[in-house]
Amino acid sequence: MVKQASSSPSSSPVTITVSSGGKGGPIRSMGLTSPVPRSSVSNNPNSPLSGRGNRGSSGGRRTSAGGRYDEEVVNSEYVTYTVHIPPTPDHNNVSASQTSLNEDDKNFGKPERSFISGTIFTGGFNSVTRGHVMECSMERKETMKSGMQCGMKGCDEKAMQGKSSSGPCECGFKICRECYLDCIGNVGGHCPGCKEPYKDVSDDDGSSYDDACSEAEDQALPLPSMADFKPDKRLSLVKSFKAPNQDFDHSRWLYETKGTYGYGNAVWPKDEYGFGSGVNGFEHPPDFGGKTRRPLTRKVGVSAAILSPYRLLVVIRLVALGFFLTWRIRNPNREAMWLWGMSITCELWFALSWLLDQLPKLCPVNRVTDLSVLKDRFESPNLRNPKGRSDLPGMDVFVSTADPEKEPPLVTANTILSILAVDYPVEKVACYLSDDGGSLLTFEALAETASFARTWVPFCRKHGIEPRNPEAYFGQKRDFLKNKVRLDFVRERRRVKREYDEFKVRINSLPESIRRRSDAYNAHEELRAKKKQMEMGGNLSEPIKVPKATWMADGSHWPGTWSSAETDHSRGDHAGIIQAMLAPPNAEPVFGAEADGENLIDSTEVDTRLPMLVYVSREKRPGYDHNKKAGAMNALVRTSAIMSNGPFILNLDCDHYIYNSLALREGMCFMLDRGGDRICYVQFPQRFEGIDPNDRYANHNTVFFDVSMRALDGLQGPMYVGTGCIFRRTALYGFSPPRATEHHGWFGRRKMKLFLRKPKVVKKEEEEMALPIIDHNDDDADIESLLLPKRFGNSNSLAASIPVAEFQGRLLQDLQGKGHHGRPAGSLAVPREPLDAATVAEAISVISSFYEDKTEWGKRVGWIYGSVTEDVVTGYRMHNRGWRSIYCVTKRDAFRGTAPINLTDRLHQVLRWATGSVEIFFSRNNALFASRRMKFLQRVAYFNVGMYPFTSLFLIVYCFLPAVSLFTGQFIVQTLNVTFLVFLLMITLTLCFLAILEIKWSGINLHEWWRNEQFWLIGGTSAHPAAVMQGLLKVIAGVDISFTLTSKSATPDDGDDEFADLYVVKWSFLMVPPITIMMVNMIAIAVGVSRTMYSTFPQWSKLVGGVFFSLWVLCHLYPFAKGLMGRRGKVPTIVFVWSGLISIIVSLLWVYISPPSGRQDYMKFQFP
């Protein structure tokens, strides 16, 4: 395993330094160096980080002044060896893949699979970091033409540039000088692309145009010197003082952007560059400052005609509740004090619960974005960005999956495809898939996805496909030809649809293919073992134990989980794996080729680059707490910080795909607008597909997402709900915002502003973690940097990436006020650094099972551990530091996912949420201990999150009270007098009016509101009491809580019922309380009616009160009862059980009720 360094020039050595924990001890840390050093800091000269020296990776490596790594090993415990990666025709060595930017620009028209994307990296605790070159059989060579080459067939000359940056014709067809002259002479001056005549063709066959083009290509247009310039009286001179000391070629910028000389001109063309139709063909100069001052977002308040009556009704209902409860306490039922006591206790708790739920809803807001301003500000040419490259910050997208059986690989593949085709700068997007199960099925499915993406992504970009999930797009029932004008759309759609069907077949056949392949290799290994036993002269009768391994397609062992669950290859015990399926793209666009036998679509005018795609499976070892999904997300945070380091992170579940390709731009409008540096995350609402039309179990959850979350947006921001959220990376790192507000006094009415990101901070709180402004002469910054390893681990590359991410996530300088720090415009329009083997090996080290030991990961940094609802706790911690969040509701849904429509699955999902809330209530994350940086109403909302499961205890009692009243002949009040009825009517009417107004300002409908009320009682009598019991057991007895992963529904086959899972009856202990409540209330109604009818002195008022509340309970439980009945038209076993029970009960009641001795006039009805 250990080899000496080879002197062969053809090899590409990668030197690995391994540090052992002692003689014979396990390997604890490792470092890896590369022949070409990789710097983790920005290569932008405008960045304040460019002055610092390059940092190395972890493992005790040091750097010399010249930037080369010191080869001397100081400690004798360090061992140096070399891993040789053999070069092949398809896989060049490391040094060949790490070419300079100039070489990339020359060869970007020849896309080849890079060394990194063809190598799988593994490693972890007590194992060696290895790079295994893989043979990929699904690659195919593609011939593409770059955007600077001639578009004529058989011509590879450089395209000429004319009056438009795209070529001599307005259609943008690229053509070189020789082909252009041929077209003028032979084709009659018509463009080969659009078949239209060239507008600039004159009688001299384009000689003037050719001379102008050649002259422009030879040299830039210099500005005349001021000494030789003789100003005209009509022209004014304005000297530029924007950047007097910077070396900037203004003449080249004018030529490349086709600009003019500014306000010194007497006249200004319309639209900045062309000729207008105003007075004498010209208009007034445009207002350049207006682009900067225009906001990216606007807050739209709810109409006062709706909001004012809404708030007034809240006050009226609160007053009515106060008077009602006062009257109830002062007028007890002397005949049944125990019944009165239970009812008044429940009613007091319900009033408190309603108040906690209603107070945060008093300030709802709506927000809108302006994507045109975003494009003008960050993707238009300017002084610092002459070519108009995208100045948007990078975005890392996280997708998490854990079990390919419950989360089908095809669902995950469609989510990945929607991410790769998102409308965001390709070079700024990086997608990471976390496979917490380490499954080869997920790995090979992702490889197939990367292959199909080369066809799907250009098709989406060319024709503007929405949604960009192929399963959702091809499965929609609307007219797919709407708004399509390209003649080749139908033909190319048919081809892509067939390719996608074949892709689905390949994905579905992967499990069987992996099994057959593994069986064949294992049988071969057994034969080899027997042959070796015979050669050694062993006893043939002894059985040979050969591990049942899982094999990859290239004939090597899969380093992750095996189906046989052997040692080092089980779900909780396997090595860490990183595989770059798609390498980082080039900075310049790469255009494809015409449709032929290998290319399904004509992509000559489409950018065919794909974002970086990385497969990550963190290391798992026995004896370590891996913290479920939160631990997997933190591993992705560290991996992405080293490989791409996007300042913003989008978190998605494997079944939530991007439904709106502009969703990322919508979210970035809030992050990059004025005041956006205080925003920690932008939460999008969750929308679901595949739900039955009646939404029997309130799966859409619109009352929460459209009412509660909109209302929280008017306070300090919505909660984090686990998916569909764009994070600021520095906020996830646990840093405080640059500015915060403390709320003092009653209800936080007195405010105190804090500036937390100053170079000198006089006073800090005990747990304050502020990110200082980078200053090379500041001692405090050096002290903060020394504390980073304690907080983030011993990876120097990870520590060096933190200030880079902070700088890239800043606002532009012109948006910052006086005294604030921003980044210069155009500072992010630089190409990304190439990805090398040393970087991937460093990423392997940060996903090891022991990396988080003695660090603050999960405690303050990243996703917070200790709760099954880590999402709510993570968002709470950010709000508690003073950050604020934004709720982004787009016109077209941003993301869509699936939800469990089966009753049992839905109850278990609610059980997990409620259990996490109970954990929050009994932890330090309870809002009672929140800091003064959290607003009062925001604190009330978070306190209600931990309180709502306890309402179930009172709800169960209250659901049994009507039945008890009917059984005993008593009621919660002594008599149904007018006062009680008036109060009851007022409380009910105000609740109905509040619901109507909520429907008006939130946009939901009455059916959704009623379904939410029904499932509130269903969940409150089934899942919530169980959650309270589990939470109490964990707090008192220390019993750990385990939850079942929610199954993601796969796409139904043709002919199958889309909602078949809705009718499946799966028995669960959670169903016992609701069934008991229904049975008891139905029996009580029968008993109460019979007793009253045959009573000598019937008390109809008490009967009416008991029956009314029993029917109220049964109406809310109707969806639950319908779910127990199974499919319509079929009679499940439970129906026969119910029938038998009801028959027995009715018989007993008939025996119990004695017939009347005489005829009574019992049909008279009157109130006492």
- DSSP annotation string for 192-226: TTT-PBPTT--TTTTHHHHHHHHHHHHS--PPPPT
Quick check: helix, strand or coil at residue 1064? coil
Query: Can you tell me the distance from the alpha carbon of 473 to that of 921, in angstroms, rounded to the nearest whole number?
Result: 43
For residue 757, what are its two tokens?
Answer: 């990101």
For residue 469, what are its two tokens?
Answer: 């999930």
Strand partners, 753: 741
Question: Which residues, at least 6 apart from 523, have a Cβ–Cβ distance to it below 8 Å?
Answer: none
- Report the chain's terminal Cα–Cα distance, integer Å: 95
Give exposure, 293-331, as e/b (b: 16+ Cβ within 10 Å): eeebbeeeebeeeebebbeebbebbeebbeebbeebeee
User: At residue 754, what are phi and psi to the nearest 5 degrees?
Assistant: -120, 140
User: Do 280 and 359 form a contact (C-beta atoms < 8 A)?
Assistant: no
**Which class for 817: exposed (0-12), middle (13-18), buried (19 or more C-beta within 10 A)?**
exposed
Containing 84, the helix (H) or strand (E) segment is strand 78-84
Quick check: helix, strand or coil at residue 545? coil
**Which class for 1130: exposed (0-12), middle (13-18), buried (19 or more C-beta within 10 A)?**
exposed
Looking at residue 989, the DSSP 8-state letter turns out to be: H
Give exposure, 1063-1084, as e/b (b: 16+ Cβ within 10 Å): bebeebebbebbbebbebbebb
The bridge status of strand 612-617 relative to strand 590-591 is: unpaired
User: At residue 689, what are phi and psi to the nearest 5 degrees?
Assistant: -120, 165
Strand segments (E) across 316-392: 365-369
Which of these, 1070, 952, 1087, 1064, lies nearest to 1017 by C-alpha position? 952
User: Do 788 and 628 form a contact (C-beta atoms < 8 A)?
Assistant: no
Query: Can you tell me the distance from the alpha carbon of 812 to that of 672, in angstroms, rounded to the nearest whole number?
Result: 8
Quick check: helix, strand or coil at residue 535? helix
Q: What is the pLDDT of residue 10?
A: 36
Q: Is 778 a catalytic residue?
A: no
Kindly name the residue from 396, 436, 573, 713 that is annotated as catalytic. Answer: 436
> Residue 682 region, left (φ>0) first, then alpha (ψ -120 to 50), else beta?
beta
For residue 511, what are its two tokens?
Answer: 């499990």
For residue 451, what are its two tokens?
Answer: 């292959």
Inter-CA distances, 1060 with 687, 690, 1008, 1051, 1053, Å: 21, 11, 22, 12, 11
Alpha helices of 23-176 — where are they, by DSSP H?
94-97, 101-107
Query: Can you tell me the distance from the alpha carbon of 893 to that of 891, in angstroms, rounded to the nearest whole number?
Result: 6
Cis peptide before 467 (omega within 30 of 0): yes
Quick check: helix, strand or coil at residue 513? helix
Q: What is the pLDDT of residue 1144?
A: 63
Q: Is 871 a catalytic residue?
A: yes
For residue 600, what are its two tokens?
Answer: 């399904």
Q: What size, in residues, is the chain?
A: 1168
Looking at residue 283, the DSSP 8-state letter turns out to be: B
Question: Which residues, at least 6 apart from 1078, have a Cβ–Cβ distance to it below 8 Å?
Answer: 1113, 1114, 1117, 1120, 1121
3-state secondary structure 875-941: HHHHHHCCCEEEECCCCCCCEEEECCCCHHHHHHHHHHHHHHHHHHHCCCCCHHHCCCCCCHHHHHH
Residue 379 identity: E
Which of these, 817, 1168, 831, 805, lies nearest to 980 by C-alpha position? 1168
Which of these, 685, 668, 1099, lies nearest to 891 by C-alpha position? 685
pLDDT along the chain (1168 residues), means of 10: 37 36 38 37 43 40 38 36 38 39 42 60 73 54 55 72 60 78 69 72 43 40 39 38 47 52 42 42 48 81 90 94 93 88 94 94 93 91 82 95 90 96 95 94 95 94 93 89 86 93 95 94 89 79 82 91 87 91 90 84 91 94 89 95 95 94 95 92 93 89 93 93 94 90 75 64 49 46 64 90 92 66 85 85 92 91 90 94 94 92 89 91 91 92 94 93 86 84 91 92 90 93 92 80 63 63 81 88 85 74 83 91 70 58 61 49 44
Residue 573 identity: D
Q: What is the pLDDT of residue 647?
A: 95
Question: Which residues, at least 6 apart from 729, have a Cβ–Cβ distance to it below 8 Å?
Answer: 637, 641, 645, 646, 647, 648, 649, 805, 809
Inter-CA distances, 36 with 15, 98, 117, 640, Å: 11, 8, 18, 21
Which of these, 928, 917, 911, 909, lies nearest to 869 by C-alpha position? 917
Q: What is the pLDDT of residue 1132?
A: 54
Query: Can you tell me the distance from the alpha carbon of 322 to that of 474, in angstroms, rounded to the nearest whole number?
Result: 57
CA atoms within 13 A on the CB side of 359: 16
How many CB atoms are closer than 10 A to CB 742? Answer: 15
Q: What is the pLDDT of residue 166?
A: 52
- pTM to 2 decimals? 0.76
Q: What is the pLDDT of residue 848?
A: 92
Kindly name the residue from 695, 871, 893, 1061 that is annotated as catalytic. Answer: 871
Task: Let me know the angle formed at the C-alpha of 642 by 641 and 643, rounded to the nearest 5 degrees.
Answer: 100
- Sign of the alpha-carbon torsion through 550, 551, 553, 558: positive
Q: What is the pLDDT of residue 450?
A: 95
Residue 925 identity: N
Containing 524, the helix (H) or strand (E) segment is helix 489-535
Strand partners, 15: 82
Q: What is the pLDDT of residue 143?
A: 42
For residue 209, what are its two tokens?
Answer: 């145009």
3-state secondary structure 1069-1135: HHHHHHHHHHHHHHHHHHHHHHHHHCCCCCCHHHHHHHHHHHHHHHHHCHHHHHHHCCCCCCCCHHH
- Helices (H) then strands (E): counts for the chain: 32, 24
